[in-house]
Structure 1
């Protein structure tokens, strides 16, 4: 066979296998038997084995082939993978509809797209010119784990996008030059049961539920293990896209299927009443579906309206997760204990007779606070109906008082902290009781665990148990004391050998130059999570400027609301905060902020959108330059956009900028702006 004939057979085989994958995973309409499919794949493998120089990265044979990783790398999403607000009943869904209408200044019905909420693991896949190049988990929404090799093993995820051809053999639509597409990896219920049966036979621990098995499978460091797991995927959202545009969610999902990206069933609804009808239908057929769902997702269909609605903090205003009523079971409350958190909040927790709720063995349930206990008249020894709220958090729904024997005991919140015996108070206007002892070990441990955690100061090897030893032996009272610990003080501690002590000292020393956002996050300010810490670090550029900011100044910061502003301002006004920060400074903590290291920030407060191909830099490099100069990069053009940077082959975003009168910069003009 000549090389030309061989290449033709190769391309035909690859094309046929991709087509059959689409028919099986996307169209649910296979045309060949498994045996015939296997025959095609074996022939392709034979040719590539004989001529390895002809193997291409997007060949169907390249699902597995990478060596096991030592650890996952991290990926920053160009567009954050936002979480959704929840509606737990019809009233909350209707309130969502009213909020949308108010924001759009309309009383007319809104067109929504209704989709099932798949209970799996969210991920992002990136395609360049139709070829899969990388993939990552959702992570915290901003940064995820690089699971490219594992995603390549999931057969439902195409390695090359499809194109429909017209009668003349020409594509009916262009493949995007770059497509960042979001979806969910999941496992069918039948495949999950089969996997657990196999694990039971080999003596391996069983997975709790399909979601747990899908998440564990995708996060294997060895992609050959992932390849053996029966994973599937659905796609439902976009990150950045270049070279193609969509007017609506419904249109986008239709195009996904044409490209070979599988989607779950979905409906276009002309009103919130039609959404409710679809929801009830879905609830009825939930158990008959081959995969687990925990509700539905409702999205405003029009992308233009989505853009107008925007987002709040880390969730969009134009979408909501409409959850199913939680699964309920009956069990006994054996005891009620109190846990103390790092803010000093006392939380009563019911100790339950263990019961299985949708694949999860539940032995404890939060009781929230004393008011909740009194409202539901919960007593130790009661028979209770429990549920996983939103199919996640166990809680007591109600007590079955007809089963009471008279031996049940009422619970009263303690007046002394169960950890330190300090006074417990209930601040006016709050439902939560709090320990007032600043030196309470539970509060100390909670703060310290947060301070040393990976996403905060990242002090490796300093565990909760070690922190307890530090406190019990009088070595520390607060986080700043960590930096005065010596090796000589560590050696007498339980199970602390010379090498272990040296590792701890080195880990603490290594953390002395934290990035500004990490340090802000590590301080444990109420309502300040990782994302908010990054927002504050970017806006103020230094800890001193943040400390001096008033509550009013903080509320003007993009994405900072009144509650967060009040919490931050109050935190830095406390005398104990001032003393703690002085101790950090004396210990040699030197906070760095890469975003302001270059000095002036000429683009502070400016919003940019990047489109087209830049000649002298990648999009990621341009984004980094903008952020270092104080600017913000958005994924779509709106009236709030300050500049659009347009490279070659700029498409719909350029047209949108011109329509709205947004300033368009060439690459040269952009660089000149940076250098001002």
Structure 2
């Protein structure tokens, strides 16, 4: 009998790095090489090169079964558990496809700046750029950490598209329709002049984008030609990355100043001659911690090269040694707090110096400012300048003292007249009625943010009960880990903290949770279980406020328009999302019409 050959699956397609060019002349050489290989001019799909981490997503019958990093191109790191916490990765596709897509996992500039600020405040090492931050966040052993760090994706490669998909721009459109987050800036271009115009456009727009890009990617649009050209050992033949030149300026360091944060972390900052960099004037750059300062070897009087990490955070790249003054001396790390003069300490497992004096004026000032801020007690009129005056005039020493202030006390402040005095006293009185999670947030307990405070208050209902909990009881709440639990129990065990809370209670502050455990069901709600997209400039709410309002009604608010979108709500200057909604026949509502329906 003859043997029947068993069909073998195609070998996995490796995740190769791209070749790159740095000039338009090199870009022209690439185009000419493609024309010679193909035998005629080619069209390109031109895309932004996202500054992130390569990611593969595999689906079986429409279900996400595996997510992995590039690794060595053939074997990557399994990050499936973490990918399930990235909000724009669909866990289930609207079609039962068994397929693989690839793209970039990245961290937005806003999320990157927030993460580094939090880490610096906690005395931890900061990330050098958004790419490192995204890589570290995606590889976390605890997926809940990944979720907290607000990662995003752009998907741009379909490894095994259906036969009817014959071009890169078709593949991106179909992936978008399936629910993947794709970048809407990509274009199909016919000539090299159009490619250069695109490069010039996004070289100028680069700094205004909410995410980091480090170049432009050209891909031959015809997938058949891509398959014919194949790869070299290292890179695909059919695509190339045009890399932006790094934007750098030289300037001179005139001073290194140290500031004390709310948790006592003391941070060095270089004060420099102002220079224009990536669209803004820069005169200061954080040196983060003593280890970083020593690693860079920065001295007062040094000429340094300056760039922006992630196109947003000014950072010193290196010292220009050839320009170092002849009389230069090594910078000495301080040993005492610049605010209170107490000895600084280097705690175990931290890179930061820390002032551990609880009465340090700088820490008190930062703590009171945080207590009054909008995410905490939201005391209108009590900003940093007022707090600074209250401390300078010896009127407050901790947050409890705020509730002992009188009109005569406030009359001592600069430019404080009767109206300002009455407004602040009213705001202080109103804040006494806040739900207890706002008070917990305001206390500034290390690692305990607004979300953790709300979850803990919602579970245990009042502050007295929370103060009596042990570490395991707090950590038993979903998403609350041991770090937060240990920080809370340590804080509440301090006699100074207990004294402040007793004073706040005596001043009449609410100590109970006042929020609802479950949102009330709203009858006749047009947005329940609907997918909604917001676009344009909103006038009555911020984008975040409107999103929360819709989510409270049971809506799913997404960032892209597809056939699954139920409504597009638009404000002024609505752009491509508005146009796409018209093309797809998605119902459009003005901001006012949506508000009217909600009300």
TM-score by length of 1: 0.47
In the alignment, structure 1 residue 263 sits paired with structure 2 residue 184: yes
Match of 2:330 in 1: 410
Cα deviation for residue 620 of structure 1 reads 6.1
Residues 253, 263 of structure 1: 8 Å contact kept = no
Distance 1:117 1:254, change over 3 A: farther
The corresponding residue for 1:98 is: 77
Question: 1:134-167: CA deviations, max 9, x gaps?
Answer: xxxxx99xxxxxxxxxxxxxxxxxxxxxxxxxxx
Paired position in structure 2 for 1:453: 373
Could you tell me which residue of structure 2 aligns to residue 332 of structure 1? 252
SS in 1 for 2:281: strand
How many residues are aligned here?
A: 367
* CA deviation after TM superposition for structure 1 residue 328, in Å: 2.6
Q: Which runs of 5+ in 1 are unaligned?
A: 1-84, 122-138, 141-234, 238-247, 268-281, 298-322, 637-676
Which residue of the partner structure matches residue 546 of structure 1? 466
CA distance in 2, matches of 1:413, 1:442: 19
| Post-superposition offset of 1:458 | 1.2
CA RMSD between the two structures: 4.7
- For structure 2, the residue ranges without an aligned partner over 5 or more in a row are 1-49, 56-67, 85-97, 116-152, 156-170, 189-194, 215-242, 531-547, 558-599
- State the alpha-carbon separation in 1 of the partners of residues 154 and 247 from structure 2: 26
Which of 432, 448, 451 is the aligned partner of 1:531?
Answer: 451
Distance 1:283 1:370, change over 3 A: farther
CA contact (8 A) 2:258 2:269 kept: yes
TM-score, normalising length: structure 2: 0.52
Shift of 1:120: 11
Instruction: Please tell me whether residue 295 in structure 1 is matched to residue 220 in structure 2.
Output: no
- The more displaced of 492-501 and 474-483 is 492-501
Say whether the 8 Å CA contact 2:271–2:283 is kept in structure 1: yes
Q: Sort the Cα spacing of 1:442 and 1:249 in 2 relative to 1 into closer, same or farther, 3 A.
A: farther
1:112 equivalent in structure 2:
102
Change (3 A) 1:621 1:548: farther
Deviation at 1:570, TM superposition (A): 1.8
Distance in 1 (CA, whole Å) between partners of 2:476 and 2:51 is 27
Distance across 2 between alignment mates of 1:283 and 1:423: 58
Counterparts of 2:395 and 2:83 in 1: how far apart (Å)?
58
Look up the match of 1:253: 176
Partner of 2:436: 516
Could you say which residue in structure 2 is the equivalent of 1:427?
A: 347
Give secondary structure in 2 for the equivalent of 1:98.
coil
Once the two structures are TM-superposed, the CA of residue 359 in structure 1 deviates from its matched residue by: 0.2
Equivalent residues of 2:461, 2:512 under 8 A apart: no
- Does the residue aligned with 1:438 lie in a helix, a strand or coil? coil
CA contact (8 A) 1:571 1:577 kept: yes
Superposed CA offset, 1:557-615 (max 9, x none) = 2222332222222222222211111111011101343335xxxx6x89xxx9x9xxx96
2:390 paired with 1:400 = no
Query: Among residues 275, 281, 288, which one is paired with 1:368 in the alignment?
Result: 288
How many angstroms apart in 2 are the aligned matches of 1:324 and 1:99?
Answer: 31
Answer whether contact 1:115 1:265 (CA < 8 A) is retained: no
Distance 1:632 1:530, change over 3 A: farther
CA contact (8 A) 1:457 1:522 kept: yes
Question: d(CA) in 1 for partners of 2:321 and 2:377?
Answer: 49
Partner-residue secondary structure (3-state), 2:448: coil
- Of 564, 570, 574, 2:484 maps to 564
1:20-419 matches, within 5 Å, as 87=52, 94=70, 98-100=77-79, 111-113=101-103, 251=174, 253-254=176-177, 263-265=184-186, 286-289=199-202, 291-292=205-206, 293=209, 294-295=211-212, 327-419=247-339
Q: CA deviation at 1:88?
A: 7.6
Shift of 1:386: 1.7
The 5 Å alignment of 1:610-625 reads: none
